[in-house]
Structure 1
Amino acid sequence: MIKHSLQKTAKASLFTALIISGSSLKANPIKGFLTNDPIIKVGGLKFSDLNRNGKLDKFEDYRLPIEDRIKDILSKMTDDEKASLLIGSGIPGFSTGATAFDPSQDKSKVPGAAGGTNPIKRLGIPAVIVSDGPAGVRINPTRPDDKNTYYTTAFPVGTCLASTWNENLIKNVGKAMGNEVKEYGIDVLLSPAMNIHRNPLCGRNFEYYSEDPLLSGKIAAAMVNGVQSNGVGTSIKHFVANNQERNRMDVNEHISERALREIYLKSFEIAVKESQPWTVMSSYNLVNGTYTSARKDLLTTILRNEWGFKGLVMSDWFGGYSDFSGENSAFKKDATSDVTKQLVAGNDLLMPGMPNQKAAILENMKNGKLSKEIVDLDVSRILALILKSPVMNKYKYSNKPDLKENAKITREAAAEGTILLKNDKNTLPYNSKKNPLAVFGITSYNFISGGSGSGKVNQAYTVSLIDGLTNSGFSIDKNLESLYKPYVDEQGAIEAARMKKDGILAIPKRIPELEVSKAVISSQANVAEMAMITIGRNAGENADRSVDDDFNLAPDEVNLINNVSEAFHAKGKKVVVILNIGGVIETASWRDKVDAIILPWQGGQEGGNSVADIFTGKVNPSGRLTMTFPVKYEDTPSAKNWLGTPPGNKPKDVNYEEGIYVGYRYFNTFKVKPAYEFGYGLSYTNFEYSDLKLSSTKFSGKMEVKVTVKNTGKTAGKEVVQLYLSAPDKSTDKPSEELKAFGKTKLLQPGESETLTLTLNSDQLASFISKRNSWIADAGNYKISVGSSSTNIKKTANFYVGKEIIVQKTNPAFAEDVAFTDLKSK
């Protein structure tokens, strides 16, 4: 999202527009939190006299149904008040004439929050506050003239959380995150982000969960349920197909209805049905010629009518402004998004809210282009959220969440999301402390806790790898440390200063590796017990990654791995690589040169401790990949049409020609061998699968699948059980297999077994048949494959569907604006 992040740089299109237009933003602090309301006593109960008229109005009576209270408020509101509620309260932190965000000018209730709604002061309706973000609450950690601190917990990034495959754990993370939301006076957390990993180069993949919609939806639902258990809201985003950052506000994505419904919408459908988030955030991009924030088929027909969504839809910040950095910039004198189309479509709240939008709403209400019915419907959804918010219910937030307890949860989640990619000859776990460890790689000394942009968190500390190892009792070679530390401190400070200057949308740059001579490496091989090399990557909002020096290792990184491996192997010593990354990188060209590879992702503020827990075996790795690692980038199905045309920084059109064949659906179906397949991950123990049983071999609407998993090794551990389904392809072509259910065992002791029960329903058997506007499960034979990854199948079974099942009829949607052909498997 673009929030208080607009910077005075050549690349900052928002400020370019601001300067050209000669306009400026005025400070717009969020107000409306009334703490001294008069009290009305009725029947022995106390009520706040919000509008101070000396009587109990219906909307003030919390005993009444929320629908009755909303109707009463609507009857009392003026058109101007309704228009004010339909737009956000602006961007906190901007002052008159400002050309860059200045935190000292943020006088809002929660400095650093992303914005909120406008209060209706006459009626005593308070403003609600919304805040980023996906890896934890993002607010200013310090405030002017205030000695207190307001740090929040940096939780693991989305890729790491999803890699746990553990819905209960994610719900606990959500509970901890929601506690911080509530105790810092925030009403809605703008999270989780849950777009599909269409391509490994997307700059925000670290925020997103997976290439698979089932896994993405289940993890998102668990997160939403956890956060909202605190009585605060969430916003699942970005709805839909925000799969690239380049020209994200104006790119037109051409996607077939089948690909949209089966891949890009399905995860949101699962999250909506299983968690009912308070809000959904529409994305920036266009789909088939229309902005998502103005698509009624998306925001009303599908989201509300087909899925039963009950909350409100908000736009992303400045969403729907065509040619945002040019003639229609939000900062142009007369510019506005097409507010009528957005509000009619069901995009209730326009964020962050601009004066021209309010003026357009009032004008269109006056001239009849925007009906009272539409306005009242959109306003009523906003009021429904306000009425159940902490601020409306006078919650006395403490500004003191339990950060110590939340750090423990972070460490646990980061360790469980860590994936062991390689472990030759039981290199790990490792506990010898006879001699120091030789720790190479600048990121070892400056661990990356998370990505940049709106997903960044202002935490109090980050545990580096060397800190985590030291905390676990290892000694780090001081000679090597003395080489790295000054370089890391100097280069890190330069990069931090640049990022601060460029603002929250600053694009992270890789700091080149320190050149360590072969002589120094050789001397380390003589004295150290083992070598560790950390490869770091950072990414974020507003830019996508590159193939060279990002997806592929840079030459300085390749040289480091080659030189260290050669020297240490010559001495019979092991080399372990740590991948402190947010998304996929190439591994096939160098993985055979090292003995073990640990993938901890970006594990939040406790990242170094979590890696040490895995390294020592305190925690047995049970993370599994939620995306495919290709051998080379060109193997990715979307590589041919990634970012779109014309080439350059302003692509206008992207054809999703791969259709439904995203990730493993492509690799498995078209038999393209990956470096590491979807669902892959090693353990320090072994598991045996047995007794695969179906409740019936003839499907009749629902089926239970039972499988027993036994720990046959010598170490306690958890196993992720994955169920894939191969369906008959009578009505349309289909992937060779698709993930349809999964479960995770408890911590199994050596010799211990557990039987897991997985469930299949009719909708999990169905494919979307566009020409019939229906989800249909074909008649015929179905194959169930149960295993530890998408290719490591342990047990199989078959069942039969006797007659075609029409699971759901849908309304036509997403008419294609250009002709293109989806990839087919036959």
Structure 2
Amino acid sequence: MAARRTQADEAREAVVEAALARLDLDAKARLLSGQDMWTLPALPGIGLKSLVMSDGPIGVRGVRWTSDDPSVALPSPTALAATWDPALARRAGTLLAQEARRKGVHVLLAPTVNLHRSPLGGRHFEAYSEDPYLTGTIGAAYVSGVQAGGVGTTVKHFVANDAETDRFTVDNTVSERALRELYLAPFEIIVENAHPWGIMTAYNTVNGTTMTEHHHLVNEVLRGEWGFDGFNVSDWMAARSTAGAIEGGLDVAMPGPRTVYGEPLARAVRNGEVAEDKVDDAVRNVLRLAARVGILDGAEPAVTDLPETVDGRDLAREIARRSFVLVRNDGALPLRPNGTVALIGAAARDARVLGGGSATVFPAGVVSPLDGLTAALPDGTLTYAVGADPNTELAVADKGFELRAVCRDAAGDVIGTGSAPNGHIQWMGSDLPEGVTHEALHSVELTGTFTPRDTGAHTFGIKGIGGFRLVIDGTTYYDDVQRPAKDDPFITFFGAPVPRAQPELTAGTPVEVSLTHLVEFPEDVPMKVVGFTLAHQEPQRAPDELIAEAVEAARTADTAVVVVATTDRVESEGFDRTDLRLPGRQDELVRAVAAANPNTVVVVNSGSPVELPWRADVAAVLLSWFPGQEGGAALADVLTGTHEPGGRLPTTWGSLADAPVTEVVPTSGALSYTEGVFIGYRAWEKHGRAPSYPFGHGLGYTDWTYESAEVKGSTVTVRVRNSGGRAGREVVQVYLAPSEPDADRPARWLAGFAAVEAGPGERGEAVVELPRRAFEVWDEKTNAWTFVKGSYEIQVGRSIADRRVTATINV
């Protein structure tokens, strides 16, 4: 399965081998260990520059988490998968490569291709789908786009990293068949079709072996069977054993400077615990990556002709509107021209455009739904009401704050200053402001002004560990030490803030704010991190009063548009969800507004499924995911009808009570995937349960008639006609169903898809090539893929539940 090497590949290999031969053991061991949070060391003696990595997947943060160098923020991966458009995913990759080059980044730590095994997975917004074929297809296009721009990728998290609870230690027990047919499948598709330059191994254990030491899955499957020739990097702080990691195929241990590699690896070789040829193999993979990205002297980069420049804002807006999934529409959309609109919801004003955790970037600007609709609708036709605020907890200080960070030494002297895009300080490794060193740093003061939007009691809080002093408008409200409630190295970033002050403030009147943190660097922590947060919550008005205001606004408008949302305390890295409900009183808000105005449109701003108990009571439901920085402009495009919503569901939406797979909490350290190959729509059908909205579902602004499906060999040709009144795009989905049901196999599964565009009355043709793997199962007795002969019905339609035409294939 390995890609055939070209003459240019062979030339790079020759340079790699020559460079490897010039390195001594200490240099080789040092190269495999991060020198700081994001980089590998340079080795000038062989002409090797420092390799720079950066988090993704919706933007490129760079090595510093700062707004001084803003990043384009694209829609979430669930949104990208909802486009069902590999070409668009490739363009997203092209843009991100452009961003990476601008920021001096050689490797993007993305994409995430773990599956939506359970709807409770807290980080699902960062993955694509519940279906391995759709995930692999979108992921391969994304990787191809990034690498065509001369930037490497690390497809992650290899493998079965499908939930966040106890992710550092959990042992996921998965059958070999489920691993092959589901969880490994996206990685295999991407390796075969996009030839990624990197893979990131996960924190978790699979069937008793931690992934950073998994010889079978890394060396035998990934490298052996699939022919992967890229580098394998650990998730940050995942590597635990020097000999175990190098024997298990781990090339690079991140971050540095203290890892299981470097000096410990050189010592293990000298002590006879590790063979030096294992180290050579790992170094060879790193040097090959360096050659590909153009930082090894004498080696021609893999890409010499870069793609044309992409406009980031335009592409972010296009992906967003193409991703929006219209799951219900009783004639309310598009909005009627010149009609009045009541826009309702806290998330309409303060949009949530991306997920929390390591995927966070700082865009230069964000277009909220209120911004987008204000610009798109005629003057005097739009009103706004908060209605209900999903943020029942304090959030990072942001709107109205102008902050900077001041660094001081133990004597209290200023040794440096840095920008602060909001109330969250996160300096990892060498991220410190210019002139500041870990040795000299004693305290960081986050200071500036806050101009309130509302009069009343504002709540301020602190997230972090250690000593803090909080001063607001000259009054000291807290001066003490905060300690974590549990032992979690990421509690500073993913824990809840603690309320510490509630001063009365006046709208429009600025006040001085200051949060000083005494910095400590524990000896037992492998990397030095400065992380803390100033949190804030606006005055809380009576919820009944806010809902009543929204109802009155809705009653007098032609259309009510309610934006509901999750929060970063519901969907983020570091924890799973406990339910699928919208936070706060948003469900109550929707019911009240719908009762006052039957022409109510609900926009759902979440990265993954939530329950919609009122869905039958509203005129339209539009899923907007986490839509990126241009989300509000894209929403205006879709609501006003200048563009149709182009998305289809990449994951089943339903209630938690009906969801077939819900277990994400380990028992005695282990999480058993007892459902086998039945997750997502496969499980919903097996258990005979009807979801709220099925996999593949999505409406546009026109209608489609499916006329025929023909099969020749392994090629399916589908003819459709636009039977509506305007131009549109249809995603033709092809499912494969065994003619003779088998309890061990799903009733049907996605085998391919293609898009058709046509004007009113026009016909279009979709051609789908069925992959051989669609007819295969993993046989655990022979430990091999088995082609299952027989008769299959090819079922073609608009979703897994809306199948319009069929054909038969005998294999």
* TM superposition score category, shorter chain reference: 0.7 to 0.9
- CA shift, 1:199, in A, is 0.9
CA contact 2:344–2:550 (8 Å) conserved in 1: no
Counterpart residue number, 2:596: 567
CA contact 1:507–1:540 (8 Å) conserved in 2: no
The correspondence for 2:285, drawn from 363, 369, 381, is: 381
- CA shift, 1:217, in A, is 0.2
Is it true that 1:596 corresponds to 2:620 in the alignment? yes
Q: Which moved more, 1:291-300 or 1:65-74?
A: 65-74
The correspondence for 1:86, drawn from 20, 23, 32, is: 32
Residues 1:515 and 1:704: Cα distance change in structure 2 (over 3 Å): same
The correspondence for 1:644, drawn from 631, 651, 666, is: 666
Residues 1:508 and 1:161: Cα distance change in structure 2 (over 3 Å): farther
Residues 1:784 and 1:508: Cα distance change in structure 2 (over 3 Å): farther
CA contact 2:84–2:648 (8 Å) conserved in 1: yes
SS in structure 1 at match of 2:792: strand
SS in structure 2 at match of 1:455: coil
The correspondence for 2:258, drawn from 355, 370, 376, is: 355
Counterpart residue number, 1:101: none
* Cα distance in 1 for residues equivalent to 2:577 and 2:795: 35
- CA shift, 1:473, in A, is 2.2
- CA shift, 1:464, in A, is 0.4
RMSD: 2.9
The answer for unaligned runs of 5 or more in structure 2 is 1-6, 400-421, 427-462, 465-489, 498-535
Counterpart residue number, 1:823: none
Counterpart residue number, 2:794: 784
* Cα distance in 2 for residues equivalent to 1:389 and 1:267: 24
Counterpart residue number, 2:758: 748
Counterpart residue number, 1:433: 338
Q: Count residues in correspondence.
A: 670
- CA shift, 1:708, in A, is 0.8
CA contact 1:484–1:514 (8 Å) conserved in 2: no
Counterpart residue number, 1:515: 543
Residues 1:732 and 1:478: Cα distance change in structure 2 (over 3 Å): closer
* Cα distance in 1 for residues equivalent to 2:188 and 2:276: 30
Residues 1:590 and 1:81: Cα distance change in structure 2 (over 3 Å): same
Residues 1:356 and 1:414: Cα distance change in structure 2 (over 3 Å): closer
- Map Cα deviations across residues 159-209 of structure 1 (whole Å, 9 max, x no partner): 000000001111111111111111221100111111100111111100100
Counterpart residue number, 2:482: none
- Map Cα deviations across residues 489-517 of structure 1 (whole Å, 9 max, x no partner): 99773796378755883357998897253
SS in structure 2 at match of 1:195: coil
The correspondence for 1:576, drawn from 573, 577, 601, is: 601
Amino acid at match of 2:274: L
Counterpart residue number, 1:66: 12
* Cα distance in 2 for residues equivalent to 1:355 and 1:489: 36
- Map Cα deviations across residues 422-479 of structure 1 (whole Å, 9 max, x no partner): 111x1100143343x2121110101111001111111111110010101212457787
Counterpart residue number, 2:578: 546
The correspondence for 2:652, drawn from 628, 633, 644, is: 628
Counterpart residue number, 1:134: 57
CA contact 1:157–1:207 (8 Å) conserved in 2: yes
Counterpart residue number, 2:810: 800
Greater share of strand: 2
Counterpart residue number, 1:22: none
* Cα distance in 2 for residues equivalent to 1:414 and 1:173: 11
SS in structure 2 at match of 1:214: helix
Counterpart residue number, 1:240: 159
- CA shift, 1:274, in A, is 0.6
SS in structure 2 at match of 1:453: coil
Counterpart residue number, 2:423: 497
Greater share of helix: 1
SS in structure 2 at match of 1:258: helix
Amino acid at match of 1:719: E
Amino acid at match of 1:166: D
Counterpart residue number, 1:613: 637
- CA shift, 1:727, in A, is 2.6
- CA shift, 1:519, in A, is 4.8
Is it true that 1:775 corresponds to 2:679 in the alignment? no
Counterpart residue number, 1:334: none
CA contact 2:62–2:104 (8 Å) conserved in 1: no
SS in structure 1 at match of 2:311: helix
Counterpart residue number, 1:20: none
Residues 1:83 and 1:519: Cα distance change in structure 2 (over 3 Å): closer
- Map Cα deviations across residues 636-687 of structure 1 (whole Å, 9 max, x no partner): 2222x322214xxxxx110101110000001122211111100011111101
* Cα distance in 2 for residues equivalent to 1:762 and 1:537: 40
Residues 1:480 and 1:606: Cα distance change in structure 2 (over 3 Å): closer
SS in structure 1 at match of 2:597: helix
* Cα distance in 2 for residues equivalent to 1:662 and 1:255: 13
SS in structure 1 at match of 2:397: helix
The correspondence for 1:419, drawn from 321, 325, 347, is: 325
Task: Identify the structure with bigger relative contact order (alpha carbons < 8 Å, sequence gap 6+).
Answer: 2
The correspondence for 2:191, drawn from 258, 262, 272, is: 272
Amino acid at match of 1:777: F
* Cα distance in 1 for residues equivalent to 2:611 and 2:742: 37
Residues 1:67 and 1:305: Cα distance change in structure 2 (over 3 Å): same
- CA shift, 1:521, in A, is 3.7
Matched ranges for 1:174-193 at <5 A: 174-193=93-112
- CA shift, 1:403, in A, is 9.5
Counterpart residue number, 2:315: 409
* Cα distance in 2 for residues equivalent to 1:417 and 1:724: 22
The correspondence for 1:118, drawn from 36, 41, 46, is: 41
The correspondence for 1:448, drawn from 352, 366, 370, is: 352
* Cα distance in 1 for residues equivalent to 2:583 and 2:186: 34
- CA shift, 1:723, in A, is 0.7
CA contact 2:48–2:295 (8 Å) conserved in 1: no
* Cα distance in 2 for residues equivalent to 1:265 and 1:315: 17
Residues 1:457 and 1:690: Cα distance change in structure 2 (over 3 Å): same
Residues 1:219 and 1:758: Cα distance change in structure 2 (over 3 Å): same
Residues 1:514 and 1:419: Cα distance change in structure 2 (over 3 Å): farther
Is it true that 1:532 corresponds to 2:561 in the alignment? yes
Is it true that 1:345 corresponds to 2:248 in the alignment? yes
* Cα distance in 1 for residues equivalent to 2:129 and 2:741: 29
- Map Cα deviations across residues 121-143 of structure 1 (whole Å, 9 max, x no partner): 33331111000111110137887
Residues 1:390 and 1:472: Cα distance change in structure 2 (over 3 Å): farther
Amino acid at match of 2:337: S
Residues 1:126 and 1:552: Cα distance change in structure 2 (over 3 Å): same
Residues 1:498 and 1:150: Cα distance change in structure 2 (over 3 Å): closer
Residues 1:756 and 1:89: Cα distance change in structure 2 (over 3 Å): same
The answer for unaligned runs of 5 or more in structure 1 is 1-60, 92-114, 321-336, 647-651, 697-702, 802-826
TM (normalized to structure 1)? 0.77
CA contact 1:420–1:598 (8 Å) conserved in 2: yes
CA contact 1:442–1:488 (8 Å) conserved in 2: no
Amino acid at match of 1:645: T
- CA shift, 1:605, in A, is 0.1
